[in-house]
Structure 1
């Protein structure tokens, strides 16, 4: 295992839990992480990447494995999800216009698979259409319950925060 400590934490200056916006932060670690079979890099997408329709996509986290769970897993969980168009996600039958243009939706219409309590801050990654690498397209943000029907997980779109990320990395 590789243990790292947080050297610096940068929250988005306009974060609002009530309005569910700008829920993104950067962590600077005390020393580099070494890539291996279990730890891989993911690219940060700028505005030129066509994120909608990317597949396959995966979410990972240490959160509950089902709604109402009293114990959390001891092993990092990962599951395949599908990106869902924000217009569908915002329909009155789904999330009802709570999803902003700085969000992505991912999961399945029928539910059953997705993020849960404790997964917030975890990655939503999608495989590149051509190359053998992945893009960090989202950060787990919020949702209703765990993988409910027509209530997919909502993620902060990393692409929408590209300029903010670049500004704060320099």
Structure 2
């Protein structure tokens, strides 16, 4: 029977599929496949719903490993655990607005649009941080040479981000902060 099956399909399949077609299928194999397909069809609406909902914000922060836990802890303290989407890019707002990182900017704005669509967020919380290597790359060593210069550099990037957000997504609010190495955040408006 298997040779008959192979010869029947020989003109319809490539050589690599001949082995598959020569294997006899049992009713048990058919039922397993049908049960798996049925379960997938049943769960698909629930799985797609799991990613959507109404969440408070998108948190934009830097890739610096020293700040991952600090940002997470800050959002938990603010009562936002499981209530925000996250986007992490070198420099946070600097990675989104600095000409040196122009190629990255599309990725952020596309992700923000997806978060709006999937999560119905209301605002973007941006947390830049002190001692940021991306700030130095984007604007030069003088831009972060003193605490005052560093503050001004981050403040300008954050406010530029806020202006761009208002143009691209005028319904979204924003919170803008500069985090110190100890986790304290200076807010800008």
User: What TM-score do the two structures reach when normalised by structure 2?
Assistant: 0.21
Structure (1 or 2) with the larger CA radius of gyration: 2
Q: Which is strand-richer, 1 or 2?
A: 1
User: What TM-score do the two structures reach when normalised by structure 1?
Assistant: 0.23
Q: Which is helix-richer, 1 or 2?
A: 2
